[in-house]
């Protein structure tokens, strides 16, 4: 399955550096070898991190002819410009881990193995950072073992 991530972000948010950290995990090659469903061939994610006054709205669409889901993951610009790069990677990785499966589940794709996908996406994006999680600004321990 194709799994592609890009961004549309103000330069101050340094989302390009987050993409570099994600790329180092090898997620593209990992997902390329996976098949979760005959009804979905790809996921394209745009990390949106723009100044709030621009009022960007989330876009999500499933293109049946391509069998791909295109989605925006909306990031908090004001939060991301205040944190260091390690925290930025954690925040974005956790947004991807949390939101992508929820968006896919809304489409009720025929024979899509959502539980397997959730395990795989957690495994890949937890590799992009080490240490405690920052979900909802609370510290909690995450495991990043070799499964």
pTM (predicted TM-score): 0.83
> H or E element: which one contains 98?
helix 85-106
Reported as a single tens digit per residue, the pLDDT across 79-131 is 999 999 999 999 999 999 999 999 999 988 888 999 999 999 998 888 777 64
Reported as a single tens digit per residue, the pLDDT across 60-79 is 999 999 999 999 999 999 99
Mean pLDDT of 129-140: 46
Buried b (16+ CB within 10 A) or exposed e, 19-36: bebbeebebeeebeeeeb
The domain ranges of the chain are 2-137
Terminal-to-terminal C-alpha distance of the chain: 20
Mean pLDDT of 53-58: 91
């Amino acid at each position: 399955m194709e799994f592609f991530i890009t961004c549309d972000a103000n330069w101050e948010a340094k989302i390009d550096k987050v993409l570099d950290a994600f790329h180092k995990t090898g997620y593209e090659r990992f997902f390329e070898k996976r098949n979760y469903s005959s009804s979905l061939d790809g996921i394209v994610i745009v990390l949106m991190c723009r100044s709030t006054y621009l009022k960007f709205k989330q876009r999500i669409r499933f293109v049946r002819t391509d069998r791909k889901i295109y989605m925006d993951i909306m990031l908090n610009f004001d939060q991301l410009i205040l944190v260091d790069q390690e925290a930025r990677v954690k925040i974005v990785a956790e947004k991807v881990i949390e939101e992508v499966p929820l968006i896919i589940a809304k489409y009720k794709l025929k024979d899509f193995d959502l539980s397997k996908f959730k395990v795989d996406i957690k495994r890949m994006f937890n590799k992009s950072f080490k240490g405690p999680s920052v979900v909802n600004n609370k510290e909690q321990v995450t495991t990043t073992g070799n499964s």
